[in-house]
Chains A and B, each alone.
Chain A
Amino acid sequence: MAEATPMDTDPQQTENPDGMYPIAVLLDELKHDDVSLRLNAVRRLGTIALALGVERTREELVPFLDESIDDEDEVLLALAEELGSFVEYVGGPAYAHVLLLPLENLAAVEETVVRDKAVESLSKISTVFSPGQVEEHFLPLVKRLSSGDWFTSRTSACGLYAPVYDRCTPAIRDELRKGFSVLCRDDTPMVRRAAATNLSKMIGKVSKDHLIADLLPLFNGLSQDDQDSVRLLTVEALIAIAKVLSAPESKTHLLQVMRNLCSDKSWRVRYMVAEKFVEMSKAVGDVLVREELILAYVHVLKDSEAEVRTAAATQIPGFSALIDRDAILRNILPCVQTLVSDASQHVRASLATHITGLAPLLGKDNTIEHLLPLFLQLLKDEAPEVRLNIISKLDLVNNVIGIELLSQSLLPAIVELAEDKQWRVRLAIIENIPLLASHLGQDFFDEKLSNLCMQWLGDAVFSIREAATANLRKLTEVFGVDWAKRTIIPKVLELSSNQNYLYRMTTLFALTTLAQVVTPEVVKDLIVPTVITLSADPIPNIRFNVAKSFEQLTPILRKPELGNTLNGDVRGTLNKLNEDPDVDVRYYAHRALIAAQ
């Protein structure tokens, strides 16, 4: 052994220098003047810790990190995150508590994101603690933070009760609930907000008895807070409590609060209720939904504030799924009919996205009778966003009433939108065409829509032309190569001799895209010759796009069925383009030639 020692260190010295030098640099960079270097060093703390070994990490690195508390927020954020997964570097769970020191300080800084991350990391570390460690190290920390002078540490404390609760002895649990209740009654709204946010997590941890005895009063208190911003957070807690309680218990304990929240003076609270209506309804159970919430929901749908109606509209299908068809027709539908002509376009847009979800619930006949007229009205809405939303959700309706009926009633509207002034609307229509086509069938499509598809190729907006070429490809996938060869390719080829160079360009793009889905014969007989013809175009833009097009086509042109096309005509064309007077054309031709090698 005595001999072995120098032997052992020797290789270390010849082998490790390479390994240790970067570590030395990283260590120095932890305190570099440049923030980005510090940030980078903190991101690699794991590497540093590995190199230092667990003992030095515990005794030197972690205390050192704690001193960095006055650094930039982004560095602190990274530090808070890294420390969350640092347990293995300090020697495993048995030593995990040494990490609490820097994290406790990070949990008290003023920047919210840093604090939140520190709390997240603290919760994460707490999961590996033994009950002894929790008691000895974690709980004192929670207490210190909870009684901190500044609200910043107290808000952080709110998030630390739930993670360890179920691993504590009953006596400590009592204490924890007490501590948490103090935070719920804090003077500072910020702390009460944090407490209200974390209340739902606590609810999931405590026993039902304690929930009713201890947390319910806290919940009631917060739900009547002076600050809107606190009250609105209790909606989440209400859902959490309702999930634990049985339906009759919910009714006893929550009904009044729920009523208050639904009719709160502040629209922000009602907004929160509206947004979570389905979740809340599911949590409290069928009976309360029938007895209480249908009417409450109707109120929310008719709220005076547009923001609330917008949120309420998102819940229409979800909530309707919880009640029977008659109730939908009787209660929800009249509101929906009003909302279709709501004064706020945001409400109508939200409605347009969600209204189609009613179709499966109402069934075919009701959809035809009640919903179709509404769809038509939304399709004709003055706001493009509304039209857009309804179009993109029509597939749901299609499943219920069938394409025949849908196309009969909606096709005129769709055709009208296909020529809408707003290009985004046209774009949305194009994106839905392949879907419509697959349902409509070939004949119907050829008759009604194919002209439209060709028309888009000549659209004034590039995005539309681009989408139109992609559309052709998708249509070919739907209807097959023969159909494409017969109907669209001839029309595209026709465009290649159009006077306007933009049309010729579109041809080029369309052909390149179509080449990916058609048979080699079509490529060889129809596509390649046309592209070659375009290589003599007077506009350089077209010529270099020919080169680019060939570059993209190379993999296809290599297929054996295409014989000598690549090495013959195509290479010849590219060679010619490579001597083009225009520098861009030469550049792309050169690239294509390299690809063709």
Chain B
Amino acid sequence: MSGDDESGWRFAQCFGDKGDVEDVTEADIISAVEFDETGDYLATGDKGGRVVLFERNEGKKGCEYKFYTEFQSHEPEFDYLKSLEIEEKINKIRWCKRQNAAHFLLSTNDKTIKLWKIFEKSIKVVAENNCSEGDGAVGRFTRDSLKLPKLVHHDTMIAAIPRKIYSNAHAYHINSISVNSDGETYLSADDLRINLWNLNVADQSFNIVDIKPVNMEELTEVITAAEFHPLSCNTFMYSSSKGTIKLADMRMAALCDQHAKLFEEEEDPQNKSFFSEIISSISDVKFTRDGRYIVSRDYLTLKVWDINMESKPVQTILIHDLRSKLCDLYENDCIFDKFECTVSGDGSHVLTGSYSNYFHIYDRNGKNDIVLQADKSAFKAKKAGSAKNKPTATVGKGKVSKKEELLNVDALDFGKKILHASWHPRENTVALAATNNLFLFQQV
């Protein structure tokens, strides 16, 4: 009983259809996972444009979640001017700070960002009023017989309404949204531009980064992700397909084309190949919660940067050594998979996904690699054994084969991948999207 036992990570829950992966409905594939700032709620978005919310199940001990509500956030659209279909797929979900009993979150597809309000709505119906009898007798009413409509409580439901729709600001596909610490603005990034919005103003946004060359033939890089600094409201970062991360300060100028810091690692010219540029493209960047470190993910590695050191990452972790397989991965498009990364609430650990539904949890120093599999095996293991000791045994046993499989890259199933994940802000609980299933793992 090795690593897992000590680490104590175990499978907790699985939501979604547990049937075979082969007959998954495209629309059910989860494309975004995000905990809110308290960790009491969890949101997922899928390719069908739906957002599903889960709520902490207070009745259970440990961190368990139950279905809260579901709503259709985006619908497929057609841009008649450009003759383009706009998919309903949810690219990102970000929760806003709570301001009252309701919950607010931003969800986005390729083009349109929406601010949703989710709240418990009491439905009341009019039980009594003046003209309900329908005779409408004009002479019936005197000052004293006038009455106020009487309402009775009918039902309570959880309603989701779009409070604001921020549209028509992105010419390219939106890849990121991030809420600012000032509580009133957020940014949205597409391939070439980053815009700044006021949450209260839907018809106006300010362009803060624009890397579109005058001549599109000179285009050499695109923006892949962007995020606000968690504490400093002026600072945000964005990553590019060239493997760079730029930190920009909005105080200096209205247009932040001049970055304040550039995090970039010199590439070893010896390793240069046809695929170098593709695999160095950063698929996700995150700040740790204190804003001190930046975690970035490219195709093969996870990098941890100290915000005060631009020249190289403090840690580079090889997630999966697929260098020998790049040709195949290019052929089947997997090389363009965009793996996300997520940081634990205390900033000490990072998580990112791989193939065959494996995911890795590292401590920030790159030691102590915990490999887990968000798969039906985990699910079945829990079902089979009593909660007390068997899971550990099963997972422990699984680990041996896991290590083998990881070394043997040919055995990896490239159809199963953990692209999206989110870490509970206060506890060691993680949520992962595995195709159409939402997995929760926790450390006990």
Contacts and interface: CB of A to CB of B under 8 A. Distances in A.
Interface string A1-30: 000000000001100111011011101101
B380 interface: no
Nearest to B139: A17
Interface string B90-120: 0000000011101000000000000001000
B411 interface: no
B148 interface: yes
Contacts of B145: 20
A25 B184 contact: no
B100 A25 contact: no
A150 B149 contact: no
Given A17-B139, A31-B149, A70-B121, A226 B251 contact: no
B196 to A, nearest CB: 11
Contacts of A188: 183
A305 B129 CA distance: 62
A152 interface: yes
Interface in B266-303: none
B130 A28 contact: yes
Interface stretch (A92-100, A260-268, A381-389, A464-472): A260-268
Given A13-B139, A267-B251, A227 B233 contact: yes
B123 to A, nearest CB: 10
A592 to B, nearest CB: 43
B126 interface: yes
Contact of B146 (A13, A52, A152): A52
Nearest to B123: A70
Interface stretch (A60-68, A74-82, A497-505): A60-68
A229 B184 CA distance: 9
B141 to A, nearest CB: 4
Contacts of A304: 252-253
A51 interface: yes
A120 to B, nearest CB: 17
Contacts of A27: 129-130, 146-149
B138 A228 contact: no
A20 B183 contact: no
A189 interface: yes
Interface centre among A13, A110, A190 (most CB of B within 10 A): A110
Interface string B126-167: 100111100010111111011111010000000000000000
Contacts of A306: 254
A492 interface: no
Contact of A21 (B138, B200, B254): B138
B234 interface: yes
A538 to B, nearest CB: 40
A306 B99 CA distance: 35
A interface secondary structure, majority: helix
Nearest to A268: B251
A210 B182 CA distance: 30
B122 interface: yes
B100 A152 contact: yes
Contact of B254 (A228, A265, A307): A307
A136 B139 CA distance: 44
B253 A189 contact: no
A151 interface: yes
A18 B137 CA distance: 10
Given A227-B182, A228-B251, A304-B253, A20 B142 contact: yes
Contact of A265 (B121, B131, B251): B251
A168 B253 CA distance: 46
Contacts of A190: 183-184
A18 B138 contact: yes
B184 A12 contact: no
Contact of B183 (A25, A189, A305): A189
A53 interface: yes
Contacts, number: 114
Given A12-B142, A110-B99, A110-B102, A60 B253 contact: no
A514 interface: no
A28 B251 contact: no
Interface in A74-117: 108-110, 112
A31 B200 CA distance: 28
Contacts of A28: 126, 129-132, 149
Contacts of B129: 27-28, 31
Contacts of B143: 12, 16, 20, 51-53
A349 to B, nearest CB: 16
Contacts of A20: 141-143, 145-146
Nearest to B249: A265
Contacts of A264: 251
Contacts of A21: 136, 138-141
B155 to A, nearest CB: 13
A105 to B, nearest CB: 11
B142 A13 contact: yes
Given A23-B141, A51-B146, A110-B102, A229 B251 contact: no
Contact of A229 (B100, B121, B182, B252): B182
Contact of A110 (B100, B139, B250): B100
B121 A24 contact: no
Interface in A156-208: 188-190, 193
A267 B256 CA distance: 12
Contacts of B232: 226
Interface string B215-257: 0000000000000000011100000000000000011111000
Contacts of A227: 182, 233
Interface in A248-270: 264-268
Contacts of A151: 99, 183
Contacts of B182: 189, 227-229
Nearest to B185: A229
B253 A267 contact: yes
B100 A70 contact: no
B110 to A, nearest CB: 28
B130 A112 contact: no
Interface string A285-313: 00000000000000000001111000000
Given A31-B151, A110-B102, A70 B122 contact: yes
A64 B148 contact: yes
A53 B129 CA distance: 19
A12 B139 CA distance: 11
A484 to B, nearest CB: 48
A489 B270 CA distance: 85
A228 B126 CA distance: 48
Nearest to A28: B129
Contacts of A108: 100
Nearest to A31: B149
B225 to A, nearest CB: 24
Nearest to B100: A150
Nearest to B151: A31
Contacts of B184: 189-190, 193, 229
A319 to B, nearest CB: 23
A71 to B, nearest CB: 11
A51 B139 CA distance: 15
Interface in A366-424: none
Given A24-B146, A227-B233, A229-B233, A17 B140 contact: yes
A443 B143 CA distance: 77
Contacts of B99: 110, 150-152
29 contacts: A16-B142, A17-B139, A17-B140, A18-B138, A20-B146, A21-B139, A21-B141, A24-B130, A27-B129, A27-B149, A28-B131, A28-B132, A52-B146, A70-B121, A70-B122, A109-B100, A112-B200, A152-B100, A189-B181, A190-B183, A227-B233, A228-B234, A228-B251, A229-B233, A265-B251, A267-B253, A304-B253, A305-B252, A307-B254
Q: Which 7 pairs show the lowest CB-CB distances between chains A and B?
A: A266-B251, A24-B130, A20-B141, A17-B139, A31-B149, A28-B129, A150-B100
Given A17-B141, A28-B130, A305-B253, 13 more contacts: A12-B142, A21-B139, A27-B129, A27-B146, A53-B143, A60-B148, A110-B100, A110-B117, A150-B99, A189-B183, A229-B184, A265-B251, A304-B253
